[in-house]
Structure 1
Amino acid sequence: MGKCLKCIFISASIVLMSCNKTSDDTFFTTKVVPILENKCATCHGIEQDSYDKFMASGNEGYFYFPLKEGRIVDVETIYKVSISDDRVDFDEKARFSRLLRNPLTEDYGGIPHKGLDIFYSTDDKDYQTLHTWVAQEIAKNPNTTPELSAHIQFFKDEVQPVFIRNGCFLSSCHGPLTFTDLKLQPPMPDGVFSEAMVRSNRASFLGKVTHFVNLDGDLNRSRLITKNIPIKEGGIHQRGGNNQFFESFADEDVKTILKWLEMEKAEVAAHLVSEGEPLRGLGETQGIVFIR
């Protein structure tokens, strides 16, 4: 009797596991695919006969999927392209995934999308359906991310708020589509950043193209500071103006930024060696070289 009960339990478990997997697949096929077909196929759909050639012509990694007579028939491919290339971010909560943010209006946490806004609210039923599916995918394959290093955590907790208060994250100033080199990822409507957004913003403030910090010299001369200081106090010209941010180098917000830059400087110095020995005195004048 005990063996029979054990067999029944194992069989039931297998059936339940199978049902759950089938349920997930069914949800994607019956709920998600029709949304992608109706909302995305006009721009992102490619006729099945030319799909492989199209993708091999420099379009790998982009969100395109095959269509046959205007309908999605290759569920496996549309599934793969929907979750690949970080469209579903398995490190974060569902709402941070690009598959949900690209078609969403900026007011609700959306990001730039060539196809403009598809969803004008997170209350949209189709958006909620996509959110449910993305959450299911993340729950099935969650990633464990390491804790932020001390200098990145300080940037997140202390430095980002300084620039939020000063309006630097506005789309018209330093948003993702700004014409300047300083392009930032704005927070979600509730003020929350994902870790990926924090890391991206830190890299932007340090300088992805133009260097905004002066880690190998006087930290006060970092463009991140001087462009936000009045000209008469030693600042340099900024298109957005110089007088509405920090009053002087003695400003408390400047001190916060300088503390962060000291941490970043120490982080860089920890990885520098000369003849097998740590390179000390990063940013300090070691001597004078005269070049004729």
Structure 2
Amino acid sequence: MPYKIHTVYLVTILLLTFVAGNYLFFNDSTPQKTITRTERLFNQFSSEIVPVLNVRCNNCHALETKKYKQVEKNLDTIPFAKWEVNASGDLETLPQQRIAYTRFTYTNKKSSRKFSPLGFRNDHLASPILRVPLANNFSGVRHPEIFSSVNDPDFKKMLSWVKEEIEFRRETPPRPLTSNEKFFAKKIIPILVRKNCFGCHGLNAFNDLKMDTGIPAYKERFTDEMVSYNRKAMLGMKTRQVNLSGSISQSRQLVKNIPISDGGIIHKGGNHFFRKNDPDFKILLK
């Protein structure tokens, strides 16, 4: 009898130990380290984007430590991104990768346009990080071709990362177009495209009318921001293009594009684009 009692006690103790162990295992209150979204995005940059930069971008954008230290304080004045690499030309250490990550994600709030390489555009494809290295016939900007198309596997990695960065860092949603901007997008931009105005009046043009030629790889070609910018350019940013203080019909945007015999003024691109009775001319006048 005593032997049986001891056996029962032993079995009971074993059962209690088993239950307690399972409880502690499944209810472990030890704080688990959580990875913030910022850390996760940097990890994504480190594992997926850094290898792309090492192979495709470092030749032009990277500086060895000594040279980088010389320009470090003046990075905002350099027209394109620079980051530090090792003697072999690679982003090797985490501090070096942090520098590159910062160069891609910073926002220059001192600028009137609050420039950021991410861009925070209403379409991710318009982000400078993605648009600039894309082939010219897809991007509409001048830069050595790094990605031949949007289907390049490395470009897709960049696109995935940029999307997440923009969604995480965007402070305010994109501003919708005003009624005037919508009219410009629907009625005026098609005329500019049809008359090939962007051929002479791109962002790198040597004249006062500089417009964004759009992104051929983007379905609509022009994002809302481009529409807004181009409308302002047409009104005149440096030289007043539209006569708001007098007769609209005497605006430079109109008289430079009609024959001299119709009251036009000399236009380097020619005066053969419209006649005063053309439907397109009437839309521009409107």
TM-score between the two structures when normalised by the length of structure 2: 0.76
Q: 1:230 aligns with which of 259, 267, 275?
A: 259
- Separation in 2, partners of 1:128, 1:195: 23
Q: How does 1:238-253 map to 2 (within 5 A)?
A: 238-243=267-272, 245-248=273-276, 250-253=277-280
1:133 corresponding residue in structure 2? 161
User: By how many angstroms is 1:225 displaced?
Assistant: 0.5
- Separation in 1, partners of 2:69, 2:140: 30
Structure 2 residues without counterparts, runs of 5 or longer = 1-22, 107-114
User: By how many angstroms is 1:59 displaced?
Assistant: 4.8
Q: 2:66 aligns with which of 49, 56, 60?
A: 49
Give 3-state SS (helix, strand or coil) of 2:197's partner: coil
User: By how many angstroms is 1:96 displaced?
Assistant: 0.5
- Separation in 1, partners of 2:153, 2:131: 15
Question: Quick check: 1:79 aligned with 2:108?
Answer: no
1:175 corresponding residue in structure 2? 202
Alignment CA distance shift 1:11-1:165 (3 Å): farther
On the 8 A contact 2:122/2:174 being kept in 1, the answer is no
Q: How does 1:71-220 map to 2 (within 5 A)?
A: 71-72=90-91, 73=93, 74-84=96-106, 85-113=115-143, 116-142=144-170, 143-170=172-199, 173-189=200-216, 190-220=219-249
Paired residue total: 246
- Separation in 2, partners of 1:24, 1:59: 23
Give 3-state SS (helix, strand or coil) of 2:239's partner: coil
User: By how many angstroms is 1:28 displaced?
Assistant: 1.0
Alignment CA distance shift 1:252-1:11 (3 Å): farther
Give 3-state SS (helix, strand or coil) of 2:198's partner: coil
User: By how many angstroms is 1:131 displaced?
Assistant: 0.9
Q: For residue 53 of structure 1, what is the amino acid of its counterpart?
A: Q
1:282 corresponding residue in structure 2? none
Q: For residue 234 of structure 1, what is the amino acid of its counterpart?
A: G
On the 8 A contact 2:274/2:280 being kept in 1, the answer is yes
2:81 corresponding residue in structure 1? 63
Give 3-state SS (helix, strand or coil) of 1:46's partner: strand
| Off by >6 Å, runs of 4+ in structure 1 | none
Q: Let me know the Cα RMSD of the aligned residues.
A: 2.7
- Separation in 1, partners of 2:247, 2:162: 46
- Separation in 1, partners of 2:58, 2:220: 33
Q: For residue 118 of structure 1, what is the amino acid of its counterpart?
A: I
Give 3-state SS (helix, strand or coil) of 1:27's partner: helix
Question: Quick check: 1:40 aligned with 2:57?
Answer: yes
Give 3-state SS (helix, strand or coil) of 1:236's partner: coil
Q: For residue 63 of structure 1, what is the amino acid of its counterpart?
A: A
- Separation in 1, partners of 2:236, 2:72: 33
Give 3-state SS (helix, strand or coil) of 1:217's partner: coil
Alignment CA distance shift 1:150-1:19 (3 Å): closer
On the 8 A contact 1:213/1:222 being kept in 2, the answer is yes
Alignment CA distance shift 1:200-1:55 (3 Å): farther
Q: For residue 208 of structure 1, what is the amino acid of its counterpart?
A: M
User: By how many angstroms is 1:21 displaced?
Assistant: 5.8
- Separation in 2, partners of 1:131, 1:63: 18
TM-score between the two structures when normalised by the length of structure 1: 0.75
User: By how many angstroms is 1:20 displaced?
Assistant: 6.3
On the 8 A contact 1:100/1:130 being kept in 2, the answer is yes
Q: For residue 83 of structure 1, what is the amino acid of its counterpart?
A: T
- Separation in 1, partners of 2:244, 2:283: 15
Task: Write out per-residue CA displacement over residues 66-110 of structure 1, whole angstroms, 9 at most, x where no aligned residue.
Answer: 112122131221111112342112242210000111111121124
